[in-house]
Amino acid sequence: MGFGVRDSIVDVAGVLVGHHQRLDEQWATGTSVVLVPRGAVAAVDVRGGGPGTRETDVLEPTHLVSQAHGVVLTGGSAYGLAAADGAMRWLAERGHGLQVGAQAHEVVPVVPAAVLFDLPMSDWGNRPDAEFGRLACEAATAHETREGNVGAGTGAVAGAVKGGIGTASAVFRSAALGVDVTVGALFAVNSLGSVIDPETGLPWEPEPGLRAPADAEIAAARGRHDPAAGRPGRHGTASRPLNTTIGTVAVDLALTKAHCRRIAVAAHDGLARAIRPAHTMLDGDTAFVLATGDREPGAQWVPVLDEVCAVAARVVRRAVVRAVLAAEPVGEVTSYTRLYPSARE
């Protein structure tokens, strides 16, 4: 198994990514979109106790519509679900969606969405709306690889440090199919649990290129990781530790909704490896899956699905860790690289 060309979800054919954010003295929030304008078979698995979602019921394997045309990941808590309106409008204006009438423009885009809680990072009332969703779509390309304080990760906090957007991909040779398969992930990491082991100062599952931080840095930071210290906020500790890690996995195979649902389950394995604890009552952890390809596993679907699930968990884990490593401080919320500068020297 090797990394994709860009080591990003856009390595999966047919996937576009776009971000829009505002980051200034009054704002720290944004919206990310994963677009598949031609449509892709989709599914979702929600594991957190406090999710904020839209159009997830339609992705149930027993329900009628099988394809989505994009996924919206956004800040703003429940208010941020409005960003999906802008994404729907953008897709519809270009004729992308479920055909429901005789005319080419008579379509209904299927755009599921999930939100994370970042309200304390902005002045009250400053949160993504439909315009954020539209502008994220306008910015979407097959080359977007930015991480950290972009899109839905702009106001994210992961445990005691700044969270953000992370993306990763892997290409593996399927033993069952005899062909290369690409799996990618993009996640906005805004977790109650920590991505960092306070005893070592390293991610729970370290990335290549990191080294153990200096003992003095570990000792100085240890108190920050105490859950009793509360969730850090831009101007101090926020009053409520509401969180959520949300994201999308994509694979360049032709799969059913039931297959995609199994991959979404495996994606949460990656979250649990990278974030401890994950799936708490104060998180709304949600994983979407998009299958964009035209190669069907056929009779080999069982071993193929097991292969994809195993790789998906690894790719999600890497995307989560990369989000934290790429993030930069915002206000009083410090970043991993500021807390443990010697880890990357």
Task: Give the 3-state secondary structure of 212-267.
Answer: CCCHHHHHHHHHHHCHHHCCEECCEECCCCCCCCEEEEEECCCCCHHHHHHHHHHH
Q: What separation, in Å, do the N-terminal and C-terminal C-alpha atoms of the chain show?
A: 28
Structural domain including 49 reads 2-344
Mean pLDDT check: name the lowest of 34-43, 86-95, 180-189, 209-218.
Answer: 209-218
Model pLDDT for residues 53-70, shown as the tens digit of each residue: 999 999 999 999 999 999
State how many domains the chain has: 1
Closest to 32 measured CA to CA, from 257, 323, 292: 323
Phi-psi region of 304 (alpha: psi -120 to 50; beta: other; left: phi over 0): alpha
Residue 137: both structure tokens together: 């779509």
Asked if 285 and 73 touch (Cβ cutoff 8 Å), the reply is no
Which residues make Cβ contacts (< 8 Å) with residue 302, sequence separation at least 6? none
Please tell me the predicted confidence (pLDDT) of residue 345: 66
Q: What does the pLDDT read at residue 228?
A: 63
Q: Which of 100-104, 222-226, 276-280, 298-302 has the lowest mean pLDDT?
A: 222-226
Q: Is the pTM of this model over 0.95?
A: yes
Q: Flag whether pLDDT at 222 surpasses 90.
A: no
Q: What is the pLDDT of residue 233?
A: 80
Q: What is the pLDDT of residues 105-122, one digit of tens each?
A: 999 999 999 999 999 999
In order, the DSSP letters of 30-83 are EEEEEEEEEEEEEEEEE-SSS--EES-GGGSTTSS--EEEEEEEESSGGGGGGH
For residue 144, give the CATH number of its domain. 3.60.70.12
Say what the pLDDT of residue 4 is: 86
Q: Average pLDDT over the chain, rounded to whole?
A: 94
Least confident window among 150-164, 198-212, 220-234, 314-328: 220-234
